[in-house]
Chains A and B, each alone.
Chain A
Amino acid sequence: MKKILCAILAIAMILSLVACGSGETTSTSDSKLLDIKVGLITLHDDSSTYDKNFIDGMYRALENLGMKKEQLVLYTGVDESEDCYNKAKECVNQGCQVVFADSFGHEDYMIQAATEFKDVKFCHATGTKAHTVNLDNFSNAFASIYEGRYAAGIAAGMKLNEMIEAGKITEDKALMGYVGAYTYAEVMSGYSSFYLGAKSVCPSVKMNVKFTGSWYDYDKEKAAAESLISSGCVLISQHADSYGAPEACEAAGVPNVSYNGSTKDVGPNTYIVSSKIDWAPYYEYMINCTVEGKTIDKDWTGTIKSGSVKLLEINDAVAAKGTQDAIDKAIEEFKAGTLKVFDTSTFTVGGKKLESYKADVDSDEKFEKDTEVVKDGVFEESKYRSAPYFDVEIDGITLLDRNYG
């Protein structure tokens, strides 16, 4: 018995050694780009629309730069705990010169890794602390997704107009529902810009928002969408990462404006359009800086103009006529700088125009509103740091709850 076991073990070991040897890649290219390794840490895997967007963007960036897939070290399903630090360290152990993490709660663990591995660059999406911790090798990145949300909002507003014209609803019933994750600036900035986009074409529109208290919770997102629909919302959008809301919309036959990626496959009869951040331009910038030994911007904000914010293909079967043209026009105006999402003449707060607003731009323990962000009649979103800080509750939007669903 023992002999047989020994033999099996020995064979397995020899074969695994052979496999180890053949699996290794040797870099023969002189190109610096082919010499580096890039780490990517995501909170969930590609079953989350949010994380899938980051993963797909990375493969596109590698392709655009002529790099090989094997140069990526990808860790999916990494918790917002010491697990993130451990995975960042494992990326370093495997030779990564730059490591990117995609979830808000990863930020501090990336900072922890950045203080320890000074030769490696650590980049983080949605974070707020790069400009305050001031480390040479730690950076935040985001994009002006509020422009994309606004354009998607136009599609929503036009759909509402179509419903009004067809006599399906009256003007005063133009009520949209929004499933949000947390009562947090990133979400508030998103739904406010979406609402303003819709309002720009359908002035009577109102919106109700429900929060799930989680970035990814299929059941809660689905339940929140169902509850909004049953309370009279005729169109739904969401800032949450699962397919919960789009599926609830498809089941109820209610139009849906999506986020992070197309959800047409789960909602062929209800999906209108989706906006998303394309992370490839940032990844390319980040990798190029690493190769050239340059410092990466502490706060990098991509725009619709720079190709970081994208509107995905419109579902003509559901979208109102002329939606594509209206969206294209808005995008052109954004590119020309003539259209501002948070133009304070387009919304009111408590019935009044917003003349001045201090936002909590510097993240610290004090949670102080430290920076004036309204200038020349515009709320200057994402100017003083990359992550959004628009947390104003504007008229026309009702928060049905806070944080929790």
Chain B
Amino acid sequence: MSKIERREPLFHIVKNDAISFGKSLGIRIIAIFAGLIVVGILGMILIGENPFSIYSAMFDGAFIDVWTLLQNTALLLMFGIAVIPAFQMKFWNLGANGQVLVGCLASIACMKFLPVKFPQIQNWLLLLIMLVASIIVSCIWSVVPAIFKAFFNTNETLFTLMMNYIALTTVDYFVFTWDKTGSGTLGIVNLLNGQKGWMPDLGNKYLLPIIISIIMTAFMFVYMKFTKHGFEVALVGESVNTAKYVGINVKKVIIRTLLLGGIFCGILGFLYASCLSHTVNQQIGGLGFTAILVAWLANFDSVAMLFTSFFVVFLETGSKFISTKFQLNSTDYSNIVVGIIFFFIIACEFFIRFKIQINHQHQKTEKSEINAEKEGN
């Protein structure tokens, strides 16, 4: 009997559902600090700089241009908002990059050719057509995998991922067709041509994406928390069978939710075309994968994503500035910094979601056995 007790493990890993917000935040902050310490030590070894100069470079770099920082946060947030409804449903949509890119392509096509065909076109009408075109094409990109998932149970991870590659080559095809010099670069469309199809500035060119991202976040918060649609999405995510049992048309929910994601990606694609890059190439957007991290860290909560996306953009911008500040001529160390801190943040989730329980019974048993042995002597 005593032998069996000896085999009892020293600790158990127990799921920890009831962790308080403060404690989980504390664990994350400790993880970030631990990450920063490792970053500092590696910085001393790899680039020979004082860790505190590295931290200050990160901080300075992120805030060199506050508007860019906020705009990049808004963009990442919008990518996140576009993927969370599908993620809530456990539909692993990895195709946000492609959906945004084709949306941008559609907008650019309108922006490039409509003013040539119809020189009198009003800018507001052109913008409206660009928006609609972007949303339609993005929706096609998001709904096709949804239909296959709903009707044939195709693996959506691979499907949406592959759709990204189709988007990239489609963009290349059109750029090569449109640009007759063969340089493979479209350049800013209508830069010196009356800026047709460009969104008005609102006094500050960074403001519009920021405002739209806030509206999107508010919409998604309400949609997921207070509407029947949101409830259905959550239920399908919890259990498809339960959803079916209560009479939810799962196929419809999958397609409708991906359609919503497509609309959001379409709006983003339109924003890239009309107020950010004003061009299309393979480097446009590309935040879809980072957005998954942001969404996951925020536990798929749209409001929490405000903070996680700010943090990620802060970290990435700041890290990139390390190579500028210390003239490293390479972005390698910056990438290491981002990687290490992400690693620590993801690893610390273990301590938030699970609890390590020391097996006191085990210790007691051991002690009592030792005592018994002593007494025996």
- The answer to whether B56 touches A23, judged by C-beta atoms less than 8 angstroms apart, is yes
| Chain B residues whose CB sits within 8 angstroms of the CB of A77 once the complex forms | 320, 331
> Is A295 interfacial (CB-CB < 8 Å)?
no
Q: Are A86 and B68 in contact (CB under 8 A)?
A: yes
Confirm or deny: A356 has a beta carbon within 8 angstroms of a beta carbon on chain B: no
Please measure, in the bound complex, the distance between the C-alpha atom of A75 and the C-alpha atom of B320, giving whole angstroms: 8
B window 284-341: CB within 8 A of A:
284, 320, 323-325, 327, 329-332
Tell me which residues across on chain B come within 8 A of A136, comparing CB atoms.
none
Of A107-115, A261-269, A276-284, A340-348, the one touching chain B: A107-115
Inter-chain contact B281/A391, CB cutoff 8 Å: no
Residues on B with C-beta less than 8 A from A105 are 185, 187, 281
Cα separation A403 to B178 with both chains bound (whole Å): 13
Cβ of B64 < 8 Å from any Cβ of A? yes
User: Is the pair B56, A81 in contact by a Cβ cutoff of 8 Å?
Assistant: no
- Bound form: Cα–Cα A266–B166 in Å: 34
In the complex, B180 has a CB within 8 A of chain A: yes
Within 8 A of B (CB), among A55-72: 55, 69, 72
Interchain CB contact (< 8 A) of A19 among B33, B55, B68, B184: B55
Known: A16-B55, A46-B330. A81 touches B180 (CB 8 A): no
Convert A2-35 into 0s and 1s, putting 1 for each residue whose CB lies closer than 8 angstroms to a CB of B. Answer: 0001001000100111111011000000000000
Expressed in whole angstroms, the Cα–Cα distance for A35 and B199 within the complex equals 38
Binds A, one of B123-131, B145-153, B154-162, B188-196: B188-196
Given A89-B68, A111-B191, verify A19-B332 contact (CB < 8 Å).
no
| Residue A372 lies at the interface, judged by CB distance under 8 Å to chain B | no
Contact indicator B324/A73 (Cβ below 8 Å): yes
* A213 at the binding interface (Cβ < 8 Å): yes
> Which of A72, A93, A111 sits near B327, CB closer than 8 Å?
A72
Decide if B279 is an interface residue (CB 8 Å cutoff): yes
Bound form: Cα–Cα A402–B177 in Å: 12
Which residues of chain B are within 8 angstroms of A360 by Cβ–Cβ distance? 181
Let me know if A184 is at the binding interface, CB within 8 A. yes
Judge whether A133 is part of the interface by a CB distance below 8 angstroms. Answer: yes
Contact A46 B329 (CB under 8 A): yes
Complex CA distance for A185 and B182, rounded to whole angstroms: 8
Asked if residues A90 and B185 are in contact (CB atoms below 8 Å), the reply is no
User: A80-B281, A90-B65 are known contacts. Are A69 and B327 too (CB-CB below 8 A)?
Assistant: yes
Specify which chain B residues have a CB less than 8 angstroms from the CB of A111 in the assembled complex. 188, 191-192
Q: Is the CB of B182 within 8 A of A108?
A: no
Fill in one digit per residue for B172-216: 1 if any A CB lies within 8 Å of its CB, else 0.
100010001111110110011100000000000000000000000
A272 to chain B, nearest CB (A): 27
Closest chain B residue to A103 by CB distance?
Answer: B185
Query: Are the CB atoms of A1 and B26 closer together than 8 Å?
Result: yes
Nearest chain B residue, comparing its CB with the CB of A39:
B324
Contacts of B222 in A (CB 8 A): none
- Knowing A81-B281, A94-B64, A112-B191, say if A76 contacts B182 (CB, 8 Å): no
Contact with A along B326-370 (1 / 0, CB 8 A): 010111100000000000000000000000000000000000000
Interface residues of A (CB under 8 A from B): 1, 5, 8, 12, 15-20, 22-23, 45-47, 52, 55, 69, 72-77, 79-83, 86, 89-90, 93-94, 104-105, 107-109, 111-112, 133, 181-186, 213-214, 360, 363, 365, 367, 391, 402-403
- In the A-B complex, the 3 residue pairs with the smallest Cβ-Cβ separation, listed nearest first, are A108-B188, A367-B180, A19-B52
